[in-house]
Structure 1
Amino acid sequence: MQRVESVLSKLHCYAGSFDGKPSCKEASPKWLYRKANWTWKLILLVALGLSGMYICILGVEKRVMYQKAILSMASGNKVGTTRPCSELNLVDGLFLHHPQPRTFDRKECSCLPVHNFVIFSMQRSGSGWFETLLNSHPNISSHGEVFSVDGRRESASTITRTLDTLYNLDWISSASKNECTAAVGLKWMLNQGVMEYKKEIADYLKDNSVSVIFLFRKNILRRYVSILANSFDRVAKQLNGTHLAHVHSKEEAEVLEAYKPVVNLTSLIPYLERVEEIIDDACSSFKETRHMIFFYEDLVVNPRKELRKAQKFLGVNPLKLESKHVKIHTRPLHGQIENWDDLNEYLKGTRYEIFLKGKDYG
């Protein structure tokens, strides 16, 4: 029996498929090798699967870190800051950010995206009126002439630090909407450091996806007359000893409108030429940014149409906007200038003659 078992142990036996008798054949060493090969193949397959899973997980983690970095750069925060939202939206070419203010909690509006903007303009071009109209929208915060303070524009670095604070919703003013701000910006006069640091500012605006609104006057002669009248009141203080650049009643407007300045003819044309140069330079310097140009005269003639365009440009729902500002100079130009006859004769035949004729607006 032991001899039979010894022989059988050297054979590969299986039950016959017909007669039930064992059928045996000599075990081949190749079968043993084949069994070993399948074992190693299984181990290799498992190892490859685990390696693939690890690579996928690592790739996802890197992608998440990259997305966080993009979000942080877009909102001006350091990489690694906890984000209330995980996505940077691009809608119709409009970049929407998710700032995380340090001074307050956005609460239920933490995932409401915010659009950054700036209004570039010049004094006495209707920018004060335009900004109060925008600020009557419940989701727009425009913080006024932030850079009227010299210390905030003494260098490119102080300018960018100020802008970082403002676009992170940490700038506090009467225009602050706090939690549910959907568009945040400021009014920036071209003589408040814009042209001195135009390259650095243009780079900042592009890097931070800030949209630009240009607001100018077509009739720059009217603007000049308004500047002369405002400069006079700055000294005369005609309203009960107080200087007001903007008024909220017809009575106040009538007091200021009564003054008619004398225009210096010698310096007038060089002044108008310089204003045109500044406007052209500004438009050229910031042409690579997302921008739109508005004119004060168009706003006066058709405020509803122009304000709707502005709101759509800022990515907010268009609403009826209101302002308490009252227009000061409503008379034709010949009724606002003391030496009108001399001025009229002086500008005849020049390209600025057009400012003397035609409708006041439109």
Structure 2
Amino acid sequence: MSDNKIQSYVIFTTQRTGSTWLCDILHSHKSIKSYTELFRINPDADFPRYASTDMKLFEHFAKSSSFLKRTFLKEHLYKEYFTELFSMARSSPKCRSAGFKLMYSQEKRNRGLWGYLSQNTDKIIHLKRKNLLNRAISKVYMESTGIAHANEVASGDTSKPKGSLDIEKVLDELKKDISESSSFSKKITALPPERVITIYYEDLIENLDITLKKLYNFLEVPFHHYSSNFKKLSNEQPEDYVLNYHVLKAAAIENKLIANF
């Protein structure tokens, strides 16, 4: 995926880590071509909704290829797809870095994808939360309300309605995140450290400028004034809008998950 002039990157992450917001901020940089979930399965959409939207989702790209490639020659299919992506990036003369975000589940679903990316991607960004319990709560809260981002609220209200969450759903989500995050962290330990960076959601929220400077330096592009059309929901703490937050926390402690947040 590498190019003499354009450096490739992939953001590995999961839901509720600020990844769409970060992709949209990167998209505002004049030297970066930023995509969101190119490996998302969505039968109702051909292209990603946020950041750069000119690259067809991999699922639709694959369907237009031969059965042989889809079934037995996935690496060749990946190469063709990313060649097209970088052709799009080269059409912008100022572009120096191009990439997309990939969910843990999407990497698992696409056989051989990690092997291809680990060999052909210049930079690996691991985006995650320090507090995995809050991420699990945010995920289950999103599923129960049907609202992921403030852009999806017709009234424009960014506050979060109060309510209680199912304890078992939160614990299952927490266990899943611990397993996936730990598994991916082990994978990237085999890579040269100069190719890998870990970015935390909490640092984006609390120290955005400092965190972006660190990330831009990693991507070898200059710091640039950033903007985003993406609206986040309010940054209220879970205990402010989840009525049974302390019960959830106690259950996580009882299940020996407390060390992970």
The two structures have a TM-score, normalised by structure 1, of 0.56
Tell whether the 8 Å contact from 1:125 to 1:216 is kept in structure 2 after alignment.
yes
Shift of 1:258: 1.5
State the match for 2:10 in structure 1: 118
Shift of 1:315: 1.4
Tell whether the 8 Å contact from 1:247 to 1:326 is kept in structure 2 after alignment.
yes
Tell whether the 8 Å contact from 1:120 to 1:212 is kept in structure 2 after alignment.
yes
The two structures have a TM-score, normalised by structure 2, of 0.75
Distance 2:243 2:148 in 1: 22
Which residue, 299, 315, 328 being the options, matches 2:233?
A: 328
Deviates more, 1:213-222 or 1:152-161: 152-161
Shift of 1:124: 1.1
CA RMSD, 1 decimal? 3.2
**Are 2:97 and 1:166 equivalent residues in the alignment?**
no
The 5-angstrom pairing of residues 1-362 of structure 1 reads 97-98=3-4, 113-149=5-41, 151=59, 157-158=73-74, 161-162=77-78, 164-169=80-85, 178-192=92-106, 194-197=107-110, 200-234=112-146, 245-247=149-151, 252-254=156-158, 257-260=160-163, 262-289=164-191, 290-348=195-253, 351-353=256-258
1:88-122 Cα shifts (integer Å, max 9, x gaps): xxxxxxxx623xxxxxxxxxxxxxx1101111110
State the match for 1:68 in structure 2: none
Tell whether the 8 Å contact from 1:215 to 1:294 is kept in structure 2 after alignment.
yes
Distance 1:180 1:352 in 2: 46
- Report the residue type matching 2:100 in the other structure: L
Tell whether the 8 Å contact from 1:134 to 1:142 is kept in structure 2 after alignment.
yes
Q: Point out the structure with max Rg over C-alpha.
A: 1
Query: Which structure is higher in RCO with an 8 Å CA cutoff and minimum separation 6?
Result: 2
Tell whether the 8 Å contact from 2:149 to 2:231 is kept in structure 1 after alignment.
no
Distance 2:35 2:253 in 1: 42
Distance 2:155 2:196 in 1: 37
Distance 1:352 1:305 in 2: 30
Shift of 1:293: 0.6
Q: 1:266 to 1:229 in 2, by over 3 A?
A: closer
- Report the residue type matching 1:323 in the other structure: S
1:150-178 Cα shifts (integer Å, max 9, x gaps): 73687684465245433554576xx9963
1:128-185 Cα shifts (integer Å, max 9, x gaps): 111111111011011211000373687684465245433554576xx99633321011
Q: 1:206 to 1:344 in 2, by over 3 A?
A: closer
Distance 2:90 2:6 in 1: 13
SS in 2 for 1:180: coil
Tell whether the 8 Å contact from 1:117 to 1:184 is kept in structure 2 after alignment.
yes
Shift of 1:228: 2.3
Tell me the percent identity: 21
- Report the residue type matching 1:285 in the other structure: K
Distance 2:87 2:71 in 1: 19
Q: 1:344 to 1:227 in 2, by over 3 A?
A: closer
- Report the residue type matching 2:108 in the other structure: M
- Report the residue type matching 2:211 in the other structure: E
Tell whether the 8 Å contact from 1:217 to 1:223 is kept in structure 2 after alignment.
yes
Tell whether the 8 Å contact from 1:250 to 1:326 is kept in structure 2 after alignment.
no
1:300-320 Cα shifts (integer Å, max 9, x gaps): 111111101111111111212
Tell whether the 8 Å contact from 1:166 to 1:185 is kept in structure 2 after alignment.
no
Tell whether the 8 Å contact from 2:170 to 2:248 is kept in structure 1 after alignment.
no
SS in 1 for 2:198: strand
- Report the residue type matching 1:308 in the other structure: K
Shift of 1:284: 1.4
Q: Which runs of 5+ in 2 are unaligned?
A: 43-58, 63-69
Shift of 1:218: 1.3
